[in-house]
Structure 1
């Protein structure tokens, strides 16, 4: 049994609980600075986990809620959904939380000393401290989305897909036994990683004990017979998973939920694989009814929505599953849950030839209701693409998964955190203005001349390639450095325990334990940039309707008083219309950017480094930091989103749009967003026609669809009277959101997308 002293045993008099936590966590960290990272992390988790656990709420069918500390340890997310990795402090949140409790001047001084300590000791600062001179000059380390630049670092180890199937099969005792066996057979008399993993599992059991007592208290206060029945079963489940692997669906769900809660990961992987068998077993033996099974799955969805927040991918369907019939049974419950709990999790359905037609029909029904889920992925295109992009066998590629906004990785085999962002349109802007950001006057990147110096479009293209490679090299180095520092500082114990091949190798995930160490680069404005090159080629160089010098003026003045010249640029060929000239440029551009990023594996320690065109709302955020572009886009307005045309530029119908989209090679990147906005009449009015359309897109090689089913009138009215449209959900890019909660500029960009 885990025996951990309560935090109230702290001896400092007059300190509030938050101050006790801050003192304990900081002192524990300091006292273990000279210990191996795994030991230090385990010690800090023993302080953090009791602090974060929160009582269940009335109606919960699963135990496990948490608060995110303002000072702590995480693989990805700090206080307030801010990206962090390793040890972090959110200074303003810390002040806001603690200052009301400070009783003496001595305590105030102590707080300032503590803040000063963590300002340099947090893992993000340690990463920045190791930047080279070039990285420090080119990378914007603060004010992401506020300060104008080309490349931005993101500090996070996002996208961990742990082997939850292994957790369900082994349970807590089985996982302990595997680690103890390795510890005993280790050549070393003391193995800090294995010892620390066992400590982490002790804390997992501690959480079970915590909630057993919490549920028992709720049981004492319950007055409804149905509530008492649920609470009694919850106690039985929590007791059961302490001593053996899950034997029923609710036990598996409870174990997985607590593990996810403590791990810091938000990605749930192929849930139909690790829950499907127990679901079918329980249904076939009448242990639960269909209604009870649906209540359980829906309850899991509610916990994800209420506790984990953003991202939170759940993957169902596709090839490479154990017992696909059982998985399909779970998938039907999952789609139904998303109809009742929209917005989160990001339910993602992998489709393949010969799949159960009932599943696709139910998925389309759900999408037609405006839920935006499930997102549809095409295994026929994605599995070969993943094989090529990641250089892995078909067997491994069949275990591709996606996270966050749609980045691909290999389930519990690889990492692919997107820890960098590049504004491709800003990079073109620099190329036109001799390496100077005309918005700020700051020198960024390479000084290669201005547009006036480039005699041909080929000269411009060559200079732009050099500018892009310069910035891509730097952001790839940042990714590799981030993995290195995180590996030196942390062991990410909960994640390492469920990642191939960490236990076998006796190394943490970023210490050499992971099978495939990869990274991804978020690219923004891909199509805006390629359309701009087409416009320059046609209007400036070939037709000579606008001079090079005049184009630079138009960009600087945002086409003020030059609607005629802007019209020429807008009428140049645009991607999304099955236009050979525009699409050929998009393909050329796509291949250069993707291959330049992919080739970073030859100059870094990364097994893979791949583009992701998964756009969240950063095409709008970065657009506000970018001047007018040569495709006719106005300054500070949104850039193209993901693999989609610039808003409103696809004018030849949806078949032409699909033809353009599928010309870009999916085997060169790690995910892209195809955002499509359907009218309710189009989507729901003629289902056979819609199904034929989606089938054609997938046959052409389309990898995925992010579908919003809305009306133009609803979007317009929601902007005028948001209180009446609180439940209107749209696909932004790689994620869904309630439309009325979005920034006005993002709302406008979604409204301006073509409605089919």
Structure 2
């Protein structure tokens, strides 16, 4: 299709004028959405059953489009478009574009966060070599069951009722306007399907499908959904218009619709899978690999029997539509339908990476404790978002916008405040290592140094929400987040019940194993001094292989070794407590840590110096809560025992990667299932399971053209192996493959 740069620039100018013309933030957002949505919606695809796709413009409104949020602006794309047509437009048009550029460079919401942060800390953003912060509103999970139960007209009635109860306000007016935008999108797709039906070359099957698509949109525009297909389409068009990228407990949301359709002979399993497959393909097209969660199973569902029937179809769909998204996730609990676990492991044995499995037996009590809520509320609402951070579905926020690399932080402590990889000062007033007479002295210095970045990052997380709330009401999120409409306030303007944030920790086990090695070799066995150890690290162990072997042979997490595991627990508890303390200095409900990791364990390892655990400079860091590369030597049971020693209430999300030999799961299915279930029922949190041979990964690196569909689990997301950077491929190759149980 011919690209029209002038058309995109005209739209950017129109969006800017709309934004500038309305001072009220709620009405401004509604008017901007009314302009944005019809412009960016894409036509019905030739094979679509579930319809809707959006291509954003150079400027717009979104929770996290392209990594930016609220009112975003992409200057490089504007410049590129203008340069392509500069010779075809007059000077007055160019001047309009230049004025728009100058306006948005200061007015985009991320720029405002940065400016506000500078006012407090006199630097552009909370960032250092070992910690960072970004701007976005990510991972939102709204109450989609409310959407499909009420439909657009039911939501309109709720708005009218609450407006009458609380008094008219522009907030309620804007909510009504935002529903008009979705209804208009339904009308557009209804009319488009109607027009496509006039094509005389259509086959009978496509005629039937387009008729169904037309009828679905015609109905949901003015009525609550009656059928599974109508409900699924309403969810998707709402997600498209709002940039919603995580879908929560869809078996609970859609289970009754599917069950009713089966009872009324309106649908069978194969037809349902066909429509779910189209839903999957719509998610794949958006290509948000760190998001796109669908949750099945778990406690707290209204009708588990109905929900489970649909959950099994989700598992089957993930087996047939093999891709990196959606991230299908099973919540395990004692007494659940065994077929769900069996089908999950059958998928993994067949080479899929979904479903991911979480344990309600562990997570529900930990969420109760960390949130201070009842078991009923925790069971009903907790879901993992994006890479695995927990959020309270339909009543919370938990944007993961900050992170800290613990292994790099330890390097800074060992080098008197300098990052040895770049030789840049990161922390002032640090002691020389010769002054740390005991292990406790060293750990105390490490802990105290982490206090400042934790406070900075907490403030940044608060600011991220605060500025978003000042700029907009986030109408689509607020519509389906409880307490917002009841209070008459947007989700980030005081409407959200649980306004939380999360910080990612990288290299947790690398840091823990390093501290264990220091304690064991320096302070306990006195094989060498800490000063001598730092000299070895700076030499990347060249000339110190004997000493490196002593460090490598020190106790390691992942082997059910109490000494190593206790330090790992201590490191996690320490960084958790520091984040909690930082969060208490803000208006956040909670500021939690997660250890879910994505490709960062390999990417950050590439720029991290040698570490005391024996790891050389540039090698991967540990991923999530999984053992360091090569650190687990006592088998799967020992690794699982180490994993379950953490206090699950000290975090809101961890990743445990387990890769089986490609034949092991098939040959020892019952044994592995029993072992995993014991883990889930005894303080085990989560597993990312895969069944891929190391030889497959090696061959994929040599002959990538033969392995285009090899999907691998990285940490908090999955990817096609051949599309990963060599750094990440190498890290995956080095991970332990479980050869026997």
**TM-score of the superposition, structure 2-length normalised?**
0.96
Q: Equivalents in 2 of 1:404, 1:262: separation in Å?
A: 19
3-state SS of 2:663 partner: helix
* Matching of residue 326 in structure 1 with residue 312 in structure 2: no
Q: What is the CA-CA distance between 1:15 and the residue it aligns to? A: 8.3
Q: Equivalents in 2 of 1:569, 1:491: separation in Å?
A: 54
Match of 2:319 among 316, 321, 339: 339
Identify the residue that residue 156 of structure 1 maps to in structure 2: 136
Q: Equivalents in 2 of 1:537, 1:68: separation in Å?
A: 53
Identify the residue that residue 351 of structure 1 maps to in structure 2: 332
Q: What is the CA-CA distance between 1:140 and the residue it aligns to? A: 5.5
Q: Equivalents in 2 of 1:611, 1:240: separation in Å?
A: 44
3-state SS of 1:737 partner: strand
- Residues 94, 341 of structure 1: CA spacing in aligned structure 2 closer, same or farther, 3 A cutoff? farther
Give aligned pairs, total. Answer: 729
Given that 2:126 and 2:460 are in contact with CA atoms closer than 8 Å, whether structure 1 keeps it comes out as no
Q: Deviations over 1:649-680 (max 9, x none)?
A: 10110111011111111111101000111111
Aligned pairs for 1:512-523 within 5 A: 512-523=494-505
Given that 2:143 and 2:393 are in contact with CA atoms closer than 8 Å, whether structure 1 keeps it comes out as yes
* Matching of residue 61 in structure 1 with residue 49 in structure 2: yes
3-state SS of 2:523 partner: helix
Aligned pairs for 1:131-210 within 5 A: 131-132=117-118, 135-137=121-123, 139=125, 149-187=129-167, 190-210=168-188
3-state SS of 1:672 partner: coil
Match of 1:29 among 19, 30, 50: 19
Identify the residue that residue 4 of structure 1 maps to in structure 2: none
Given that 1:377 and 1:704 are in contact with CA atoms closer than 8 Å, whether structure 2 keeps it comes out as yes
* Matching of residue 101 in structure 1 with residue 92 in structure 2: no
Given that 1:445 and 1:471 are in contact with CA atoms closer than 8 Å, whether structure 2 keeps it comes out as no
- Residues 440, 112 of structure 1: CA spacing in aligned structure 2 closer, same or farther, 3 A cutoff? farther
Identify the residue that residue 480 of structure 2 maps to in structure 1: 498
Identify the residue that residue 283 of structure 1 maps to in structure 2: 262
Identify the residue that residue 456 of structure 2 maps to in structure 1: 474
Q: What is the CA-CA distance between 1:104 and the residue it aligns to? A: 3.3
Q: Equivalents in 2 of 1:52, 1:298: separation in Å?
A: 24
Q: Equivalents in 2 of 1:572, 1:688: separation in Å?
A: 34
Q: Equivalents in 1 of 2:486, 2:69: separation in Å?
A: 25
Aligned pairs for 1:556-635 within 5 A: 556-635=538-617
Q: What is the CA-CA distance between 1:381 and the residue it aligns to? A: 0.8
Identify the residue that residue 30 of structure 2 maps to in structure 1: 42
Given that 2:665 and 2:691 are in contact with CA atoms closer than 8 Å, whether structure 1 keeps it comes out as yes
- Give the gaps of 5 or more residues in structure 2: none
Q: Equivalents in 1 of 2:528, 2:422: separation in Å?
A: 26
Identify the residue that residue 51 of structure 1 maps to in structure 2: 39
Q: What is the CA-CA distance between 1:594 and the residue it aligns to? A: 1.3
* Matching of residue 645 in structure 1 with residue 627 in structure 2: yes
Given that 2:126 and 2:457 are in contact with CA atoms closer than 8 Å, whether structure 1 keeps it comes out as no
Given that 2:698 and 2:733 are in contact with CA atoms closer than 8 Å, whether structure 1 keeps it comes out as yes
Q: Equivalents in 2 of 1:94, 1:628: separation in Å?
A: 43
3-state SS of 1:670 partner: coil
* Matching of residue 124 in structure 1 with residue 106 in structure 2: no
Identify the residue that residue 194 of structure 2 maps to in structure 1: 216
- Residues 104, 575 of structure 1: CA spacing in aligned structure 2 closer, same or farther, 3 A cutoff? same
Match of 1:413 among 395, 402, 406: 395
Q: What is the CA-CA distance between 1:134 and the residue it aligns to? A: 6.7
Identify the residue that residue 679 of structure 2 maps to in structure 1: 697
Given that 1:446 and 1:467 are in contact with CA atoms closer than 8 Å, whether structure 2 keeps it comes out as no
Identify the residue that residue 314 of structure 1 maps to in structure 2: 294
3-state SS of 1:355 partner: coil
Q: What is the CA-CA distance between 1:562 and the residue it aligns to? A: 2.2
Q: CA RMSD in A?
A: 1.6
Q: Deviations over 1:667-695 (max 9, x none)?
A: 11101000111111211111111111112
Q: Equivalents in 2 of 1:38, 1:521: separation in Å?
A: 30
Match of 1:394 among 342, 358, 375: 375
Identify the residue that residue 722 of structure 1 maps to in structure 2: 704
Identify the residue that residue 384 of structure 1 maps to in structure 2: 365
Aligned pairs for 1:410-449 within 5 A: 410-449=392-431
Q: Equivalents in 2 of 1:644, 1:729: separation in Å?
A: 19
Q: Equivalents in 2 of 1:110, 1:554: separation in Å?
A: 60
Q: Equivalents in 1 of 2:232, 2:313: separation in Å?
A: 14
Q: What is the CA-CA distance between 1:328 and the residue it aligns to? A: 0.4
Q: Equivalents in 2 of 1:415, 1:55: separation in Å?
A: 32
Aligned pairs for 1:287-302 within 5 A: 287-302=266-281
Match of 2:342 among 361, 373, 392: 361
Task: Select between 125-134 and 355-364 the one with higher mean Cα deviation.
Answer: 125-134
Identify the residue that residue 246 of structure 2 maps to in structure 1: 267
- Residues 249, 230 of structure 1: CA spacing in aligned structure 2 closer, same or farther, 3 A cutoff? same
Given that 2:118 and 2:124 are in contact with CA atoms closer than 8 Å, whether structure 1 keeps it comes out as no
- Give the gaps of 5 or more residues in structure 1: 1-13, 142-147
Given that 2:8 and 2:57 are in contact with CA atoms closer than 8 Å, whether structure 1 keeps it comes out as no
Q: Deviations over 1:157-178 (max 9, x none)?
A: 1111111000001001110111
Q: Deviations over 1:475-505 (max 9, x none)?
A: 1111111111111111111000000110000
Q: Equivalents in 2 of 1:331, 1:49: separation in Å?
A: 32
Given that 1:135 and 1:478 are in contact with CA atoms closer than 8 Å, whether structure 2 keeps it comes out as no
Task: Select between 382-391 and 587-596 the one with higher mean Cα deviation.
Answer: 587-596
Given that 2:621 and 2:628 are in contact with CA atoms closer than 8 Å, whether structure 1 keeps it comes out as yes
**TM-score of the superposition, structure 1-length normalised?**
0.94
Task: Select between 552-561 and 530-539 the one with higher mean Cα deviation.
Answer: 552-561
Identify the residue that residue 720 of structure 2 maps to in structure 1: 738
Q: Equivalents in 2 of 1:116, 1:452: separation in Å?
A: 53
* Matching of residue 248 in structure 1 with residue 234 in structure 2: no
Aligned pairs for 1:679-690 within 5 A: 679-690=661-672
3-state SS of 1:169 partner: helix
Given that 1:623 and 1:636 are in contact with CA atoms closer than 8 Å, whether structure 2 keeps it comes out as yes
* Matching of residue 304 in structure 1 with residue 271 in structure 2: no
- Residues 730, 117 of structure 1: CA spacing in aligned structure 2 closer, same or farther, 3 A cutoff? same
Given that 1:76 and 1:265 are in contact with CA atoms closer than 8 Å, whether structure 2 keeps it comes out as no
Q: Equivalents in 1 of 2:504, 2:217: separation in Å?
A: 41
Q: Equivalents in 2 of 1:325, 1:452: separation in Å?
A: 64
Q: Equivalents in 1 of 2:287, 2:159: separation in Å?
A: 28
Q: Deviations over 1:450-479 (max 9, x none)?
A: 212211111111111101112111111111
3-state SS of 1:605 partner: coil
Q: What is the CA-CA distance between 1:437 and the residue it aligns to? A: 2.0
Q: Equivalents in 2 of 1:545, 1:168: separation in Å?
A: 66
